[in-house]
Amino acid sequence: MNAVGSPYLPDPEKFHGYLNRIYETGRLSNNGPLVRELEERLQDFLGIRNLLLVANGTLALQVALKALNVRHEAVTTPFTFIATSAALCNEGVTPRFADIDPESLNLSPERIRGHAGPGTSALVPVHVYGNPCDVEEIERIAANRDLAVIYDAAHAFGIDYDGNSILRWGDASVLSFHATKLFHTGEGGGIVFWDDQALERARSLINFGLDPGNGEIKEIGLNAKMSELHAAMGLAVLEDLPDILAARKEVLETYERELQGWVEFQEWGPKASKNGAYAPILLSDVSERKRVEKYLSGNGIACRPYFSPALHETSPLRTGTDLPNATAQAGRALCLPISPGLSRTRVKSICDRIKTVLSNE
């Protein structure tokens, strides 16, 4: 069965080349040379600065929250993977869910305004499936109310907004480099800080709060260090990234062309590039989505109702608040298989099967 996002494995020789450097340096963790090289190369590739590599995307958000002193409550989206809210809860910050825009599938700035209260210290929007949030409006709201903005950019690797990396927006953006992501390190994550001092603080926070200079305990931190093994994987994957991105975009375009008029698609921001991280479609309602999902799965095609249910409807996070757009779109969305190795023929055959289900209604 094709997984929704099979891990991309770089040429083993290339990977072993980086691993050999671990044998030369004798370093396996604690801000080793491969981690530093990957940080620099990713900064160049993405056109950003102040990137800190960490153990995974969830810890990336936790560290960003600590580094930016986020407390009490943060306004966030219920239409995302559990990691976004879990990171908040793990830092003692209560997620306050606002509804999404039904077209972009991102947090609606208007709804953010309605949910930011006196206890709110941050906004934590998600660039859902890589589609940039309304960053300009969100920054205005944050500036007016003196709130930190941390974007969950787990899906937004390589996305440009208005000609520059989307990661330049907000006080911080967090990335996931989990195995299934378009760029990955096996397990891993990153934080892009706007402010140099927040970066320096985070550099200490990922290593127990120790001062990187003299080793003194400055404050209480986490162990969120990325290892050299994961950095080696990242360096090998990074070499192939132009090809990976091109292949994924072609898969996505084939889906969009083939399914045009049959299903709906997320409305993509006009100033934004695409990265082919996900291939979500919106069926007409939850029962149609379930029919398509069942038929595809029955025919060996992995697909995933990602993200369903919306977080405000899960038992640990249920609030009783009515967020109709999130509920409806969580029911309708289905992520189709996408990976650089997926052939055009295979994509067309998946689309044909979807059309078969939709024709038989």
Binding site for a copy of itself (CB under 8 A): 6-7, 9, 12, 15-16, 19-20, 22-23, 26-30, 55-59, 81-83, 85-86, 89-90, 92, 178-179, 184, 186-187, 208-210, 216-223, 225, 227-230, 233, 311, 314-317
CB of 272 to a copy of itself, least distance (A): 27
CB burial of 126-165 (b: ≥16 within 10 Å; e: otherwise) equals bbbbbbbbbbeebbebbeeeebbbbbbbbbbbbbbbeeeb
CB of 62 to a copy of itself, least distance (A): 9
Coil, strand or helix at 276:
coil
Question: Looking at beta carbons only, is 60 or 147 nearer to a copy of itself?
Answer: 60
CB of 289 to a copy of itself, least distance (A): 16
Q: How far apart are CA 358 and CA 326, in angstroms?
A: 23
Question: Looking at beta carbons only, is 284 or 314 nearer to a copy of itself?
Answer: 314
- 361 to each of 64, 127, 218, how far by Cα in Å? 47, 33, 63
Question: Looking at beta carbons only, is 247 or 311 nearer to a copy of itself?
Answer: 311
What is the β-pairing status of strands 120-124 and 73-76? parallel
CB of 104 to a copy of itself, least distance (A): 24
Question: Looking at beta carbons only, is 159 or 311 nearer to a copy of itself?
Answer: 311
Question: Looking at beta carbons only, is 12 or 324 nearer to a copy of itself?
Answer: 12
- The tokens describing 336, both together, are 């189709």
Is residue 2 within 8 Å of 337, Cβ to Cβ? yes
Question: Looking at beta carbons only, is 179 or 286 nearer to a copy of itself?
Answer: 179
Instruction: Give me the phi and psi of 360, to 5 degrees please.
Output: -95, 25
CB of 314 to a copy of itself, least distance (A): 4
CB of 2 to a copy of itself, least distance (A): 11
Q: How far apart are CA 42 and CA 23, in angstroms?
A: 23
